[in-house]
Amino acid sequence: MHPPVRGPQGPHASADRRPPSPAGPQTVGEIAQVSPLSRTAVSHHVKLLERAGLLEITKVSTRRICRIRSDETLGLLRGLVGALESDLETLGREQAQKSPA
């Protein structure tokens, strides 16, 4: 079971900190600052995304720097979009066959 969802700025965010840029590598802590999830939950999801091959993690001292693996992620998204389009076409054909003419 995951820890509870925190406020919209994450559990450790302060009002005077600017959120990190969405472009480029970020640490787990930076991601957690702008996430409604706890740092523990963010860390868990980062590990899952790394195992799926969508993130590359580089350890620098005690920090984990996260980079999106663009080619892999783009390929996955294209595959998902293709599957959704196919499902929608199938659904449209099925509904057209059921509709009275």
pLDDT digits (tens, 9 = 90+) for 19-61: 545 568 999 999 999 989 999 999 999 999 999 888 999 999 9
pLDDT level of residue 16 (50, 70, 90 thresholds): very low
Q: How many CA atoms lie within 13 A of 87 on its CB side?
A: 6
pLDDT level of residue 12 (50, 70, 90 thresholds): very low
The listed CATH number (3.20.20.70, 1.10.10.10, 3.40.50.1820, 3.30.930.10) that belongs to domain 1-6+20-68: 1.10.10.10
Return d(Cα 42, Cα 31) in angstroms, integer.
7
pLDDT for residue 2 is more than 70: no
Q: What pTM, to 2 d.p., does this model score?
A: 0.56
